[in-house]
A and B are shown apart, each in its own frame.
Chain A
Amino acid sequence: MERPLTEHLRKDGQALSIEEYENAGGYQGLRKALQMTPAEVIEEVKASNLRGRGGAGFPTAMKWGACPAGPDVRKPKYVISNSDEMEPGTFKDRLLMQANPHQLLEGLIISGYAIDAQIGYLFLRWAYAGSAKSLKGAVREAYEKGYLGRNILGSGFSMDVKMHTSAGRYICGEETALLNALEGVRPIPRSRPPFPAQCGLWGRPTVVNNAETLSNVPHIIRNGAAWYKSLSLSTDGGTKMYGVSGRVKKPGVWELPMGTTIRELLEEHAEGMRDGYKLRGIIPGGASTDFLTEAHLDVKMDFDSMQKVGSRLGTGTMIILDNSTCPVGLVLNLERFFARESCGWCTPCREGLPWIVKILEAIEEGRGEPGDLDTLEWHTQALGPGKTYCVHAPGAVEPLQSALKYFREDFEQHIKEKKCPWKDRTGKN
């Protein structure tokens, strides 16, 4: 099985140097891209069915194609690697950035060439000092070798790369908040339209892609769209960085064909549940995706299959709920996170999430009332899609709405017995 993103990683976890990366075929994709026209590059990526790995699964080539081109467009244009990775339960981009920084950089340069961008940004989260170090080194090496800067490899195309290290807020990963963060102002999301592709950083056309998405691009250009599609077990192209965390025997992150089933991930790669624990629920793609259950074990982890069963692939890193953990407590934990990380710009999100937290706290502490579940249901509507500036709020109510469906009895038991049934069992919340 081919694993283009990770097969050349060093055993010791250190970053691949530029020589090691080149020996593994690195920067061949860029050389090839520079022989093609930007339109041909976009066409190849389109044919590969690459979809965004940042959570929403938007077709990458479509985003690039939406960027206006031609001599009348205001410059500089920008490409940005969204390397903020703050979705709870997600730990995939860290590995790619830290261990294979040139792959991301090459992807960023090729995408820059595709939309004729003059400046690329690496938007990094504060907690990843190791990734920052790897990427800084890689940028320096790439300049020295002529992969960055003026007249890249004699092609006439020039691009610079800058790095920004954020200071720790989840919302900075939302692509329009990210633009405000880069501009140095308070990073609240912007309303759309206009979309960043038309009017982004300082009003210029801007493409924002997830770090994993960009890491795929060099391989697509080097080996072609047909090869890329053949890696996948579904209609979406390529491989995916999947992760599993929670009470499993071997939590971790693996590159596997897109469309690998939940069962394979859980049972083969994570080696099943730890002894004495039973599976109760699965949050498939980071904190803002709907719960699934044992009934969904054979569902493929790809964008369309996940949507069909009422959830989302999200970031592809799943969190396991086991039978020793109270589902109400877990959802309370998630909603506290979302309430704390709300940017506070729009009322439903700023006021609604703390309200949800209050009700869940009451239920968990044995002060719940029969009408509470209806109030929670109401909130899942009031904070749903289209009610807020960004999808922070709709994302926040996804695990809540599905928990109310799959773990309703647990909620009701809390309210009826006026206590959390898990408290006496394990001494844990």
Chain B
Amino acid sequence: MWIGERIMLTDEERRAVEKEVTDCECPESASVEALQAVQRYRGWISDEAIRDVAPFVGMSPEKLDGVATFYSFIFRRPVGRHVIFLCDSVTCYVMGHENILEHLSQRLGIGIGETTPDSRFTLLPASCVGMCDHAPAMMIDEDLYGDLDGAKIDELLEKYP
């Protein structure tokens, strides 16, 4: 990576990161929030983003990457405009998660971990999303949905252009 190519945080991103840092007890403890803040603007966390956020939270890029790669919700690869988190934990398994996965894969033409060619959806697995009384369940972006079946899924997808 050439220094000349370096993409820095935008002013807006910088302000968001600095806000997280001032809200926290010490800069390091803002690492997860700072990454989430930048991810809100960019959709994902690139190597450049890691490098640019690191000094704000007083960490080396390597140490910050150790945090970033740990979490499922920090994306270290590009994702689509919307991310579908399909719960694959125990109750959803019992209640037919496999059928839901099959339906989603067919509708979107992608498997788990993939993004549609038009970058509209990325499909990811999620551990229990706390909707077991309405299993099978999933999240789209930050919205929780339960009691899924094919028809309901088709309807829901329309809400996310």
Contact = CB atoms under 8 A, between A and B. Distances in A.
Answer yes or no: are A and B bound together in one complex. yes
B161 interface: no
Nearest to A341: B127
B29 A127 contact: no
A52 interface: no
B135 A245 contact: yes
A317 to B, nearest CB: 7
A94 B94 contact: no
A86 B134 CA distance: 16
A21 to B, nearest CB: 23
Nearest to B74: A167
Given A91-B130, A246-B91, A182 B29 contact: yes
A429 interface: yes
Interface string A70-87: 000000000000000111
B132 A181 contact: no
For A320, A337, A343, the residue with the greatest tally of chain B CB atoms inside 10 Å of its CB is A337
A128 B91 CA distance: 18
A429 B90 CA distance: 13
Interface string B39-79: 00000000000000000010100010011001111100000
A65 interface: no
A94 B91 CA distance: 17
B8 interface: no
Interface string A332-349: 011011001101000000
Most buried by B among A125, A166, A186: A186
B118 to A, nearest CB: 26
A39 interface: no
A168 B71 contact: yes
B89 A89 contact: yes
A340 B90 CA distance: 14
A187 B70 contact: yes
Contact of A91 (B23, B70, B99, B131): B131
A247 B93 contact: no
Interface in B103-132: 126-132
B94 A287 contact: no
A47 B95 CA distance: 42
Interface string A96-120: 0000000000000000000000010
B130 A165 contact: no
Nearest to A127: B129
Contact of B32 (A119, A184, A322, A333): A184
Given A167-B71, A168-B71, A247-B95, A252 B29 contact: no
B127 A245 contact: no
B67 A184 contact: yes
B139 interface: yes
Contacts of B98: 428-429
B18 interface: no
Nearest to A250: B133
A356 to B, nearest CB: 15
Given A127-B144, A330-B93, A340 B127 contact: yes
A184 B29 contact: yes
A149 B159 CA distance: 42
Contacts of B23: 162
Nearest to B133: A251
Interface string A266-280: 000000000000000
Interface string A163-175: 0111111100000
Which 5 residue pairs across A and B have the least CB separation, nearest first?
A167-B71, A88-B89, A168-B73, A88-B128, A245-B132
Given A181-B32, A202-B26, 17 more contacts: A88-B91, A88-B127, A89-B91, A89-B128, A90-B128, A91-B133, A168-B72, A168-B73, A183-B29, A202-B25, A243-B132, A325-B93, A333-B88, A333-B93, A337-B127, A340-B127, A343-B70
